[in-house]
Amino acid sequence: MTSEDNKSERLVIVSNRLPIALSKDKNNQWHVKPGSGGLVTALAPVLKNRGGIWIGWPGNVAENGIDTAQLLQKGTKAFGYKLKPIDLSQEEIEKYYKGFANEIIWPLFHDFVALCKFNPDYWFTYKQVNRRFAETIKQNARDSDFIWVHDYHLMGVGSELRNIGIKNRIAFFLHIPFPPPDVFIRLPWRFQILNSLLGYDLVGFQTMRDRRNFVQCIRQFITGVRIEMKGQIGKLIIGNREVRVGALPISIDFKEMAKNAESGEVMKRAADIKESFNGQKIILGIDRLDYSKGIPERLKGFRNALRRFPELREKITLIQVVVPSRRDIESYADLKIEIEQLVGEINGQFTKSNWVPIHYFFRSLDKTELLATYRACDIALITPLKDGMNLIAKEYCAANCDETGVLIMSEFAGAASQFQKHALLVNPHDIEGIAEAIHRAYRMNEKERKSRMRILRQNVMKYNIFWWVDNFLQAAIAKNLDSFPPLDEYMPTTQAE
């Protein structure tokens, strides 16, 4: 089955957030706009073609007197598929979304155990909301539908669906990393989460590392599972059931991104940005405000570069864009203060009358501005402490149509296992290593830059978001798993210098 085939089997997509943006105007009227993320870009055509439905939270607090279902029905007529909202109360947002998902699973799975708040109330509400998702799926799915659940907010949906008697084929994809057993063991609800994931027919991870961690947790914590791992898609056999586990790196719509990056408007804006920096090399950091992104360490790495390599002063500028996110969670608010203090200190120490080392933006960029910034920047400095994949890295490559940019990449982002040494890999905790990579990228000749970037772009072009969707669906239904290529085939084979 590819996204084109098997039209009778509709697709039911389930994610915490619906792919829309809801906003309220001055007169308290709600408006619906389509979302623009990679996932919706890839899945919308499949949903339109095969028919289907997307179930999720519209992103607002449920208010008395607001009929979200009706609002969505009116506002999403042109989508070509249906959206089914799950309303969350203020308490559910606090305990399920902010609490269990973002103050337990998110920090734990990104190796920030000290930030976890293992509050039993959070677990109770997570279970309750996951059950509601499962019931909504049951009410809306036909027997032949393929159900595809996304991300860490909904790991519990697998067992809930089986408990209420759903027999459909159900699959799950984890967008964030999966931790090794010595980290996962801290989770008080470790058995429940693993058993729930075993309720799915296919569980997909971003990288081999995540899949290996998951399989090791199964081996360590769950008895009676036969493990058959080879190639990209392996099997866990439990009695007469088979659960497939795959490593399937998510991606972006390369063609669309590259095409838009060549538009007149983007080229003009990129030229303006370049000009305003007077021939300096521009380094780009762009992240959602999140402690997993390694922003303070990156800033320290940049400061280290300015200290150790004085020839870089007045010759490089860092544009650091931080996109607001999860603002009412304490650790995120603290991080914002830390970042802004560091930016202030570094600028305070190095600024000259005609040069400010860090240009800091705390906001999101619109599409044109984002693409123009990608195009204008000579170096992308993407150094998360841990990241499921990191699509910014892939977007930077796609937009880099003249193939002269350099990608400096954390070795702990999923994308690093795909890009390997064609990017300049760094340990994001090593501020000296970051400084050296900046210096090396600054001095790299055009021939080497082009040869590296060409390979990176070819890789992202081939393993794009549509490849990912087709491969995932194929992994769920293929009779013969040997037809899947070994994972090394996703890696660039030509050597960079």
- Interface residues with ligand G6P (CB under 6 A)? 17, 151, 175-176, 325-326
User: Given the complex with ligand G6P, which of 174 and 306 has the nearer CB atom?
Assistant: 174
Nearer to ligand G6P, 176 or 243 (CB): 176
CB of 444 to ligand G6P, least distance (A): 30
CB of 288 to ligand G6P, least distance (A): 6
Return the amino acid letter for 178.
Answer: F
Question: What tokens appear for 100 in the block?
Answer: 């269990």
Residue-by-residue DSSP string for 389-439: --HHHHHHHHH-TT---EEEEETTBHHHHHHGGGSEEE-TT-HHHHHHHHH
Please give the span between the terminal C-alpha atoms of the chain, in angstroms, as a whole number. Answer: 40
Q: How many helices (H) and strands (E) does the chain have?
A: 19, 17
Question: Is the Cβ of residue 101 or residue 299 nearer to ligand G6P in the bound state?
Answer: 101
Residue 372 identity (one-letter amino acid): A
* Nearest-approach distance from CB 446 to ligand G6P, in angstroms: 34
Smaller CB separation from ligand G6P, 175 or 212: 175
Positive or negative: CA dihedral 446, 451, 455, 456: negative
Select 132 or 439, whichever has its Cβ closest to ligand G6P.
132
Q: Which of 278, 271, 255, 224 is nearest to 399 (CA)?
A: 255
Q: How far is the CB of 326 from ligand G6P (least distance, A)?
A: 5
How buried is residue 277: exposed, middle or buried, by Cβ count under 10 Å (0-12/13-18/19+)? Answer: middle
Residue with Cβ nearer ligand G6P (285 or 414)? 414
Provide CB contacts within 8 A for 303, sequence distance 6+.
Answer: 342, 346, 349, 350, 431
Which DSSP helix (H) or strand (E) runs through 55?
strand 52-57
For ligand G6P, give the closer residue by CB, 18 or 217. 18
Q: What is the DSSP string of 160-197?
A: HHHHTT--SEEEEE--S----HHHHTT-TTHHHHHHHH
Element (H, E) at 281: strand 281-288
**Three-state secondary-structure class, residue 297:** helix
Catalytically active residues are 175, 387
Find the residue with minimal CB distance to ligand G6P.
175
Q: Both tokens of residue 347?
A: 């600028």
Least Cβ distance, residue 21 to ligand G6P (angstroms) = 11
CA distance 229 to 330: 41
